[in-house]
Amino acid sequence: MKVRSIKRRILMMLIASLAIMLACSAVISYIFYSDALANYWNRSENEDIRMQFFIIFICAMVIIAIIITIIASVLTDIYLLKPVTDMTKAISSIHFDEQGMQEEENDPKYALKNLNIDSGDEIEELYHALQNFQMDISEYLLSLREDSWEAEHDSMTMLSNRTRYEKRKNEVYPYADMIYIAALNVINLRRVNEEISVEAGDGIISKVARELRRLSTESIHTYRLEEDHFMVVFCGYLEEEAVAIISKWVERVGRLNRNSDSFECRLVWGGSFGSGKFDVDNVYKHADTELYCNTAVAKKGKALNL
């Protein structure tokens, strides 16, 4: 998104105001001064006429200046003061306790994630920076808990498990401005365990986990929820950005079993996007539903349109 600088906006507003003042001055001068100049030569009361002209001119310019000032004040309040005031109220409503970071529920519309700031300038950049800061603080507070590492991670793959996801779902993801959840399955893993060996199946799971750990960042969280069921949560990514990342990653991982096997073992995924006032459980439900449909198609041997 192209950022429109506040400094540039103010400069353009001043230039526009001066241009309006200059245009009005020219028009008023042309209308009134021509009559005053003609009467100056033809009538003896030229001093009174010129005085009348200047009084009219000054009054007209004062009125124009007042109108421009009112318009500038309204625009400044809408695009500068109100967003900053709303963000101040949202930040001041945040407090910390033994449960982590909490927001007061007295006025939900002033919750940081519920604000609608799309001015396209530094104010919007500050808004998104505060959202990321809020989410990072939640993640940091979550990491300070005394819960053991083993309780929140899968012992085989070292990925975060469902316990870790449930904590982030309640304490981190609600503060994100947008999330994309991708649910993944390894199809034909049971056939690998039955027709080849359990060790071969474990090797496939380990390979997927290794690739997921490479994908993980501070804003991309990866999980192993069940034996062959994985999940990736993108925080702060647009839907098309997240889809591009996960599609390219799945394509790069490719076939998981040996080429000599009579069947193909690969990853299938389904995703869902949420922004603004989203419900994490609802986003995950839609992602899991799409995964179920894509898995059914894949098991029938049809081409997937991912």
Grouping H, G, I as helix, E, B as strand and the rest as coil, residue 227 is coil
For residues 10-35, give the mean pLDDT. Answer: 67
Superfamily of domain 150-299: Reverse transcriptase/Diguanylate cyclase domain (3.30.70.270)
- How far is Cα 102 from Cα 120, in angstroms, rounded to an integer? 28
Tokens, residue 54: 């200047």
More confident residue, 152 or 270: 270
Residue 232, pLDDT score: 96
From its phi and psi, is residue 236 left (phi > 0), alpha (psi between -120 and 50) or beta?
Answer: left
- The CA radius of gyration of the chain, in Å to the nearest whole number, is 32
Q: Is the confidence at residue 271, as pLDDT, over 60? A: yes
As given in the structure block, the two tokens for residue 32 are 């009134």
Joined together, the tokens standing for residue 131 give 């959202």
* Side-chain half-sphere CA neighbours of 44 within 13 A: 0
CA distances for 125 relative to 2, 3, 28, 177, 306, angstroms:
11, 8, 43, 13, 32
| pTM for this entry | 0.62
Task: Over range 281-291, report the average pLDDT.
Answer: 94
d(C-alpha 298, C-alpha 85), whole Å: 52
The pLDDT score that the predictor gives to residue 237 is 92
| DSSP 8-class letter at 175 | G
For every residue of 14-37, DSSP letters joined together read HHHHHHHHHHHHHHHIIIIIHHHH
Looking at the chain, the domain(s) classified CATH 3.30.70.270 span 150-299
* Distance (Å, whole) CA 176 – CA 179: 7
Q: Which of 95-99, 151-155, 176-180, 276-280 has the weakest average pLDDT? A: 95-99
Look over the chain and give the mean of its residue pLDDT values, rounded to a whole number: 78
**Structural contact between residues 43 and 162, judged by C-beta atoms closer than 8 angstroms:** no
SS3 263: coil
The pLDDT tens digits for 153-183 are: 888 889 999 999 998 998 889 888 899 999 9
Closest CA to 146 of 178, 98, 108: 98
Name which of 38-42, 115-119, 125-129 the model is least confident about. Answer: 38-42
Q: In sequence order, what are the beta bridge partners of 102? A: 95
Nearest Cα to Cα of residue 294 among 306, 286, 282? 306
Average pLDDT rounded to a whole number, residues 229-249: 94
Q: Is the pLDDT score of 120 beyond 70?
A: no
Look up residue 103 and give its DSSP letter. E
